[in-house]
Amino acid sequence: MSANQVFEDAKWIIEALENHGHHAYFVGGSVRDYLMDKHISDVDITTSALPEEVESIFDKTLPIGKEHGTIIVLGSGQQFEVTTFRKDGDYVDHRRPTSVQFVTDLYEDVARRDFTMNAIAMDKSYQLHDYFNGLKDINNKIIKAVGTPIDRMEEDALRIMRGVRFQAQTGFNIDDETKEAMSQSAHLLDKIAIERIVVELKEMISGNYVYHIIQTMKDMAIFKYIPFFKNINLETIFIPQHSNFELWIASLCYIYHLELSSLNHLKISNKEKHEIISYYNLFNEFENRNISKVEMTSMIYNYGNNKVNKVIQFIYENNQSLNIQFHPTIMNTILVNEIYDKLPIYDKSDLSINGQIIMNEFNKNGGPWIKDILNKVEQAVILNKVNNTQNELIEWVRENVEI
């Protein structure tokens, strides 16, 4: 879908608001990405209409965020955020305003935003309303705060992380005054919920221009104020070029010998922790060893070919930092995929025997011994020591396992 089509699909909302005597514009990230010729998935709309007026104009709405002026408008299988022009009250926690005040002036609405490239509004005819020269800064590849930079950063310290994230995503330089304000305000990050910071870090590390932010992060000493990262030498902190959040965090644990319990500081989900620990274990599996094909087979079965290949590629690209002996004859995609494709099973549930069959066959009650047998059978099947048929597996157990 073209960028124009995304706006065209939402134009009916602006037209409906205008037909009722209100002003309305596209605003924020969608306008920025449109001007940068980047993919746009959704659009936000800002309007002079009050939330109650928005609800009265459209048949299907959701009052999510209504207290802050936002109404979700539903239509044709899509949903659109429509937010009343507003200006923020005082910030007391360096994150959120104590109040919002609805206004009728577009300028006041965009003046509260973080960076000039995010403060551009656009009407339904694609005419820009660019009070802070955001388009100029985009063309000059500059990330610049709206208004007085130190005020913007002290209002909401998360903007520091957003600025770095935008740099990683765009490759733009950060305006000197804005960068200085970000640096001066970095200590306020310890007042920001780690969950919000992690969201920014995930987008940052997956950016196409991560190398642009390495010096920025060191100059500002931003990590000094973020849990988990505080225990890392900030002068040498490893920031990879091609990664995802879980792989990056795993590599930091490996390189700096961090306890895995330190992951709790990030307040991430158990699924994400499990992913990080898997990557961490794979780094250790590959560490300074001549891995046998048997070990490689077990590794690929336990972690899957995609994850193993991802770690091999990561080691290859970052071996100077990881310092893991690289064995190209073993650590290569072709071999990994070949082993994976030839695995006789891909999960313990694929075995032709289970606990009930074992209990019946050996006439014993359940207990930990069953799990032990199934683990041994699983390994034997993976390594092609026995075929995965019920009779052959039972016979293998009789011959190889003391019950």
Q: 133 and 2: one domain?
A: yes
Q: 27 and 121: one domain?
A: yes
Predicted confidence pLDDT, tens digits, the chain (403 residues): 556 889 999 999 999 999 999 999 999 999 999 999 999 988 999 999 999 999 999 999 999 889 889 999 998 888 999 999 998 765 565 556 666 789 999 999 999 999 999 999 999 999 999 999 999 999 999 999 999 999 999 999 999 999 999 999 999 999 999 999 999 999 999 999 999 999 999 999 999 999 989 888 888 889 999 999 988 877 788 999 889 999 999 999 999 999 999 999 999 999 999 999 999 999 999 986 778 888 999 999 999 999 999 999 999 999 999 999 888 888 899 999 999 999 999 999 999 999 999 999 988 888 999 999 999 999 999 999 999 999 999 999 999 988 7
Q: 395 and 322: one domain?
A: no
Q: 172 and 184: one domain?
A: yes
CB 137 within 8 A of CB 116: yes
Q: Kindly state the DSSP code that residue 386 receives in the 8-state scheme.
A: S
Residue 340 lies in a domain: no
Q: 80 and 198: one domain?
A: no
E strand residue ranges, 246-347? none
- The reported pLDDT for the residue numbered 92 is 62
Residue 197 lies in a domain: yes
Please identify which residue in the block is written with the tokens 């305000």: 185
Q: Is 69 annotated as a binding residue?
A: no
Q: Which of 102, 137, 172 is the last residue of a domain?
A: 137
Nearest-5° Cα angle at 126, 120 to 131: 25
Residue 331 lies in a domain: no
Q: Would the CA dihedral through 199, 202, 205, 208 be positive or negative?
A: negative
Q: 289 and 376: one domain?
A: no
Q: 258 and 158: one domain?
A: no
Q: Is 44 annotated as a binding residue?
A: yes
Q: 152 and 50: one domain?
A: no
Return the structure tokens found at 347. 């999960």
Number of domains in the chain: 4
Three-state SS annotation for 127-187: CEECCCCHHHHHHCCEECECCCHHHHHHHCCHHHHHHHHHHHHHCCEECHHHHHHHHHHHH
The separation between CA 168 and the C-alpha centre of its own chain, rounded to angstroms, equals 13
Q: Is 96 annotated as a binding residue?
A: no
Nearest-5° Cα angle at 66, 61 to 68: 145
Q: Which of 295, 326, 357 is the last residue of a domain?
A: 326
Q: Is 28 annotated as a binding residue?
A: no
Q: Is 42 annotated as a binding residue?
A: yes
Q: 221 and 191: one domain?
A: yes
Q: Is 9 annotated as a binding residue?
A: no
Interatomic CA distance for residues 251 and 270, integer angstroms: 18
- The reported pLDDT for the residue numbered 249 is 98
- The reported pLDDT for the residue numbered 94 is 53
Q: 34 and 128: one domain?
A: yes
Q: Which of 207, 226, 245 is the last residue of a domain?
A: 226
Return the structure tokens found at 11. 């134009």
Q: Is 152 annotated as a binding residue?
A: no
The residue range of the domain holding 262 is 231-326
Nearest to 344 by CA among 292, 392, 312, 306: 392
